[in-house]
Amino acid sequence: MKTYQSKIKKAKNYLDNHYCIGVPTETVYGLAANAYSNNAVKNIYKLKKRPKSNPLIVHYHSIKDLKKDCLLNDSFIKLYKKFSPGPITYVLDLKRNSKISKMVTNKKSNLAVRFPKHKIFRKLLKELDYPIAAPSANISTKVSAVQSSDIVEDFGNKVKYILDGGQCKIGIESTIIDLRDKPKILRLGGLEISKIEKVLSKKIKISINPKKKISPGQSKIHYSPGIPLKMNIKKTKIDEAYILIKKRKNHLSNYFYLSKKGDLNEATKNLYSCLRKIKNKGYKSIAVEKIPNVALGKTINDRLIRASKF
Ligand code: TXA
Ligand code: MG
């Protein structure tokens, strides 16, 4: 318990001094900085090599804190009550007097906000007097980090501190919903759309591939393992890594399994580590068998499609 407290104290100290640190969330690790500080947020973009036009998600501990920066509406309250803290991000209108850095929003008047569930990160958020801007803790366009060693792999000692919270439980980014007007899904993620539709009692438009990009995370080349990837493959050569949804009796050395028995939650959790592992083993290409396009399988397929655009 004591080390827990001292880790949080250390993390707070870095953040108070405008440094970026790694933080655990239930979805993926974040590269965190004080969302009210231009200098701190600038560092995020520099470290990630992220275009400044791509806005950041801001993480809050409570709705009370959020009220200082955003205008809330009925749909938000309904979804918040059911799913937050958890893997959902809401796009809301910013208040005029909000202190959120212009670097976070690319000078726009809306903000993507999230209430992460990871215990240690929540404890840290509670102790801060500012919210946390945090994109996924990976170099831009690459696969997100789901454990602290992934951050070290991408950034070396450029990230001064990582608050280690073990492996991420969900393993894929949050679902993003724009709630400014008619609710609209901007990114598939760790929360299934059908669950959101149930709470709002209506079908929700999915706008993940619009001609005009709203979320730059929708850009085609994203979540790239750095080597070519093909989907819906039935057979492979032995020198190509083959990702399978469940374990096979006739195992071959190039087989990599996302889950034991085809469980989609387990598969989601393992997806990014699996891609990293294959790359690090020196494979030059990846084939993936057909992943069922249901529940979180839809999110897995969304990421694989983008990964395949490399
Ligand atoms: O699970 C997550 O959401 C993780 C953890 C760390 O919270 N964060 C994450 O952040 O995935 P990032 O920056 O890797 O992806 C956020 C996506 C980007 O595609 C960005 O373009 C979009 O959210 N975004 C951010 N602010 C937005 C806004 N105001 N309107 C529309 N899209 C926004
Ligand atoms: Mg990202």
Which atom of ligand 1 lies at the shortest distance from residue 29's CA? 6
Determine, yes or no, domain membership for 223. no
Distance 147 CA to ligand 2 centre (A): 14
**Claim to verify: residue 56 and residue 194 sit in the same structural domain:** yes
- How far, in Å, CA of 277 to CA of 219, rounded? 24
Mean pLDDT across 2-9: 87
Which atom of ligand 1 lies at the shortest distance from residue 189's CA? 1
- How far, in Å, CA of 30 to CA of 38, rounded? 18
Determine, yes or no, domain membership for 158. yes
Residue 216 has pLDDT above 60, yes or no: no
- How far, in Å, CA of 136 to CA of 48, rounded? 9
Determine, yes or no, domain membership for 218. no
- How far, in Å, CA of 82 to CA of 13, rounded? 33
DSSP annotation of 95 reads P
User: In this structure, what token pair is assigned to residue 94?
Assistant: 């910013």
**Claim to verify: residue 49 and residue 196 sit in the same structural domain:** yes
- The closest alpha carbon to 63, from 131, 136, 128, belongs to 131
Quick: pLDDT tens for 132-142: 999 999 999 99
Distance 55 CA to ligand 1 centre (A): 7
Distance 112 CA to ligand 1 centre (A): 7
Which atom of ligand 1 lies at the shortest distance from residue 114's CA? 7
The pTM of the full predicted model, rounded to 2 decimals, is 0.96
**Helix axis angle, 74-83 to 193-200, nearest 10°:** 130
Residue 22 bridge partners (DSSP): 31, 162
Total domains present in the chain: 2
* 3-state SS record for 210-253: CCCCCCHHHCCCCCECCCCEECCCCCCCCCCEEEECECCCCCCC
**Claim to verify: residue 16 and residue 105 sit in the same structural domain:** yes
The residue segments making up the domain with residue 190 are 2-206
Nearest CA to ligand 1 atom 28: 112
**Claim to verify: residue 33 and residue 105 sit in the same structural domain:** yes
Determine, yes or no, domain membership for 41. yes
Quick: pLDDT tens for 238-250: 999 999 999 999 9
In the listed set 145, 173, 206, which residue is the last one of a domain according to the structure? 206
Q: Which residues line ligand 1 (CB under 6 A)?
A: 25, 27-28, 30, 54-57, 89, 91, 110-112, 114, 116, 134-136, 173-174, 176, 186, 214-217
Nearest CA to ligand 1 atom 3: 174
Determine, yes or no, domain membership for 216. no
Mean pLDDT across 72-95: 98
Which atom of ligand 1 lies at the shortest distance from residue 54's CA? 21
